[in-house]
Structure 1
Amino acid sequence: MGDTADRSTRTSEQEPSGPVSEDERRGRRWERRRRASRSARRVLARSGLQRTIRQRLALLDAADEVYDLDESVDMYGDGVVAALEAKVAGLLGKEAAAFFPTGTMAQQVALRCWAGRTGNPVVALHAEAHPEVHERGAFSQVSGLRPVRLTDEPRQPTAEEVRDCEEPFGALMLELPLVGPGHLLPSWEELTDLVEAARERDAVVHFDGARLWESTVHFDRPLDEIAGLADSVYVSFYKSLDGFGGAALAGPSTLVEEAKAWRHRYGGTVFQQFPTALSALLGLERELPRLPSYVRHARVVAAALAEGLAAAGLPWSRVHPEVPHTNEFQVWLPYDADTVAEAAIRTAEESGTLLFARAWNAPVPGLAVTEVDVRAPGLEWSAEDVRTAVADFVVRLREEAGRAGGRTGP
């Protein structure tokens, strides 16, 4: 659908005159994907990362709906920050909550405090848990904690693995959902068994609930009942709720008071945080009630994606999990990741429809995987819309694979 000028511009971006490094090539592709996301007429989700500063600041135009803007600004955690903490504690059914600038800090502080209470710095967790994959060894390097991996299988740990762990641990940390293998949640029965197994080991239970907000449909339970299984819970304000950033740690009031002391020591007691706190309150007001509809529609989108990929005649494809546990899930294709990424961006540039907005990764050569996120814009897509978009994408995928000489499909 793009004209000749569009194709010429795209070609010059794809094929710079001189050699470029791998990082530069990826950077250019990331920028093209971001521009395509901003200009696309149809998307399944729009995240804060894909918007301009002006667009993000516009979020605060409605801030007076959630807090009295004639109140004094916050200073070192009072005012609007304290109001946000009270709101989160109530939603999660906990005695208290503490605001943190990052989840990395919140979880280190939580587990450090629990280690002092249990006398055991060992944290049992999944090999794909966020601290193990994305935090540069922060548990051991910064907080004196020692992670022990329960499993590296692409699923949640089992109660048997908790019971059979070879050494004592002070805390069991469960990431809900477990993002790396596909935003996976256990069943409610499996979750209660996991918690019971930890109790049998005299361990506390901490939920890495960065995206816990999205879990209520799968568990068919309210947030406070889910959070009530754990001794402490961390939640994020930007991953699901579209806030500017920030996190909260919720749990017993004595733990939270100690956590605030450690927050200060870690440099997390920031002078003023009202923009982030207001964006979090807006997220709780606006996005939190919508999340169940996103999860339910993600199941419609996932089924239509699978149908569309099968109808396109690809040799193999996978939507995982087949029935999404949250509003995010994975798509796997038997092509080189660069080839698929280029096809996805071209589709958006030329058709105005962005089906795959996130990066494609290569777990092994010849396979590509991405995450699909369904939010408010995605509610406008019917199953037929998804199947049509898949067919359009596959046309370009085959073109790109042919150019690259690495075509796997027919």
Structure 2
Amino acid sequence: MTESERQERARLLPAWNSARRRLADGPTGESVGARLARLAAEGADAYDLTGWTDVYGDEDGIVGELERRTAAALGTEAAAFFPTGTMAQQAALRCWAERTGSGTVALHPLAHPVRCERDALRRLTGLSVVHPTDAPRLPTAAEVRDAAEPFGTLALELPLREAGFLLPSWDELTATVAAARERDAVVHFDGARIWECATHFGRGLPEIAALADTVYVSFYKSLGGLSGAALAGPEAVVEDAAAWRHRYGGQIFQQWPAALAALVGLERELPRLPEYVAHAKTVAAALREALTESDVPWWLVRPREPHTHQFQVWLPYGVRELTDAGARQAEETGTLLFRRWSEPTGGPPGLAMHEVTVAAAGLTWSAGDVRDAVAEFLGFLPPRSSSRTG
């Protein structure tokens, strides 16, 4: 972290954390002591804390219990805990390359392994990547079926975060998976946020996971854990992946705090995600209404109706002025609507994007509250043209 980044963090965190009202709590809103105290209190409801701490992921300890509960939640034979999702997916895709005899993975160019892992698939595992489509959505069955290059594994990110947390319909997803099977390819789900997909698909997690050969899930995205991930699927594949976890340095001596936080997430947050998804639709609709009535010359809420409890908002301002406006609103009014903005992937200059998350803290917000907060937020921005589009 650079000195300027440290200064910005020191300025923004107090502003965000001082807000009395927010749509979701952030990961940096507590002191270390407060977070530890909360973990101990909540953990007692998720696991017997009178037992011993485990080492190296003892199957009779907290990590083993987390793996069993994860497999049960997804309806798979087994699951293995990993310190990061990056490592979990590299291990999974490497295992499938060995089993299929093909080192080529079909991935969307916006998928996490392509955009966020420093070319790890190629440099660490020796795999190559092909793209069935570059459209800002998951590939269709026709695109998978007609892909010009052969591949052994199709990896689908559910939801596709960079495109606005987008999901296909259930019929589209099943057709795409079937198209991969027609090409004798296996299917892996990058399900970091698969926990909140059940509402959109109208299916339970086991039915969704059953479409794929393996599924990766995150414990800190959506579930509010400290860190960590799991790979779930057939026992033989999970065991192979666990061996690669050890080779990659992921067999950590003590990782029970992260596992305990994940168990809390499975117990407390997972059952509430459908409620968050439903309320995100209310928040997004109110945002659209407020922006339509505003003088902002151009804006986008993407997707129009969220598929999960997260979605994007695009505005024609700079990243710094939007981030500063959100911090000032939090400081001066006690309402935190937006945190840090960023330059959107593939967007033209002069636009900024924010990923909105609706969780427990946001359930008390009415549509009117959202509209008022938007109008208030825009008041902290410099005036713009009065022409409107939406």
Q: Is the 8 A contact 1:302 1:324 kept in 2?
A: yes
CA distance in 2, matches of 1:50, 1:224: 33
1:375 counterpart residue number: 359
Query: What residue identity is the alignment partner of 1:52?
Result: S
**Paired residue secondary structure (2:282):** helix
How far the C-alpha of 1:257 sits from its partner, in A, is: 1.0
Please name the residue that 1:18 is paired with: none
What's the offset of the Cα at 1:298? 0.3
Give ranges in structure 1 of 5+ residues lacking alignment.
1-21
Q: 1:118 aligns with which of 93, 97, 100?
A: 100
Aligned partner of 2:243 among 252, 261, 270: 261
Q: Evaluate the alpha carbon distance shift between residue 364 and residue 28 of structure 1 in structure 2; reply closer, same or farther with a 3 A threshold.
A: farther
SS state at 1:316 partner: coil
Separation of aligned partners in 2, 1:87 and 1:97: 9
Write the distance in 1 (CA, Å) between the matches of 2:145 and 2:213. 18
Question: Structure 1 residues 361 and 33 mapped into 2: Cα distance closer, same or farther (>3 Å)?
Answer: farther
What residue number does 1:396 align with?
A: 380
**2:67 pairs with 1:85:** yes
Q: Distance in 1 between matches of 2:385 and 2:189?
A: 41
Q: Which amino acid aligns with 2:379?
A: V
Name the structure 2 match of 1:239.
221
Separation (CA, whole Å) in 1 of partners of 2:282 and 2:12: 25
Distance in 1 between residues matched to 2:287 and 2:145, nearest whole Å: 39
Conserved in 2, the CA contact under 8 Å of 1:60 and 1:279? no
Q: What displacement does 1:409 show?
A: 4.9
Q: Distance between the aligned counterparts of 1:91 and 1:320, measured in 2?
A: 30
Q: Is 2:74 the counterpart of 1:95? A: no
* C-alpha RMSD over aligned residues: 1.5
2:341 touches 2:352 (CA, 8 Å); kept in 1?
no
Give SS of 1:62's match: helix
1:191 aligned counterpart, secondary structure: helix
**One-letter code of the match for 1:245?**
S
Which entry has the higher C-alpha Rg, 1 or 2? 1
Instruction: Give SS of 2:28's match.
Output: helix
Cα displacement (A) at 1:24: 4.7
For residues 365 and 25 of structure 1, what CA distance do their matches in structure 2 show? Answer: 22
SS of residue in 2 equivalent to 1:141? helix
Q: Tell me what 1:44 maps to.
A: 23
Matched, 1:108 2:87: no
Amino acid at match of 2:284: A
Deviation at 1:343, TM superposition (A): 1.5
Q: Return the offset for 1:33.
A: 2.6
Q: Which amino acid aligns with 1:34?
A: L
Supply the AA of the counterpart residue of 1:64. A
* 1:138-178 residue CA offsets vs partner (Å, 9 max, x unmatched): 00000111111222211111111111111111100000000
**Cα distance change on mapping 1:76 and 1:23 into 2, 3 Å:** closer
* Residue 211 (structure 2) aligns with: 229
| Shift of residue 357, structure 1, vs aligned partner | 2.1
Structure 1 contact 127–150 (Cα < 8 Å) conserved:
no
1:65 to 39, 45, 49: 45
Which residue of 322, 327, 331 maps to 1:349?
331
Write the distance in 2 (CA, Å) between the matches of 1:35 and 1:320: 29
C-alpha contact 2:216 2:231 (8 A) present in aligned 1: yes
- Give 1:344 shift: 1.6
3-state SS, counterpart of residue 397 of structure 1? coil
> Residue 52 of structure 2 aligns to which amino acid in structure 1?
S
Give the C-alpha shift of residue 62 in structure 1: 2.3
Deviates more, 1:65-74 or 1:275-284: 65-74
Query: Partner letter of residue 256 of structure 1?
Result: V
Residue 309 of structure 2 corresponds to 327
2:163 aligns to what SS in structure 1?
coil
Aligned to 1:167: 149
- In structure 2, the residue corresponding to 1:48 is in which secondary structure? coil
What amino acid is the match of 1:44? Answer: L
Matched, 1:76 2:56: yes
The answer to whether the 8 Å contact 2:67/2:80 transfers is: yes
Contact 1:334–1:408, Cα closer than 8 Å, also in 2: no
Which of 255, 267, 273 aligns to 1:291? It is 273
Letter in 2 for 1:151: T
The sequence identity of aligned pairs, in percent, is: 59
Q: 1:358 to 1:69 in 2, by over 3 A?
A: same
- What is the TM-score when the length of structure 1 is the normalising length? 0.90
Contact 1:48 1:56 survives alignment (8 Å): no
Is the contact made by 2:322 and 2:341 (CA closer than 8 Å) also made in structure 1? no
8 Å CA contact 2:209, 2:215 repeated in 1: yes
- CA distance change for structure 1 residues 271 and 183 in 2, over 3 Å: closer, same or farther? same
Residue matched to 1:28: 7
Q: Tell me, what secondary structure is at the counterpart of 1:380? A: coil
Structure 1 residue 43: Cα displacement: 0.4
1:70-99 superposed Cα distances (whole Å, 9 cap, x missing partner): 222212111111111010001101000000
Partner of 1:293: helix, strand, or coil? helix
d(CA) in 2 for partners of 1:55, 1:130: 32
Unaligned runs of 5+ in 2: none
Alignment-derived partner of residue 8 in structure 1: none
2:135 & 2:162 partners in 1: Cα distance? 11
Question: Partner letter of residue 225 of structure 1?
Answer: E
In 2, the alpha carbon distance for the partners of 1:50 and 1:132 equals 30
State the alpha-carbon separation in 1 of the partners of residues 26 and 319 from structure 2.
22
Please give the secondary structure, in 2, of the residue aligned with 1:331. Answer: strand
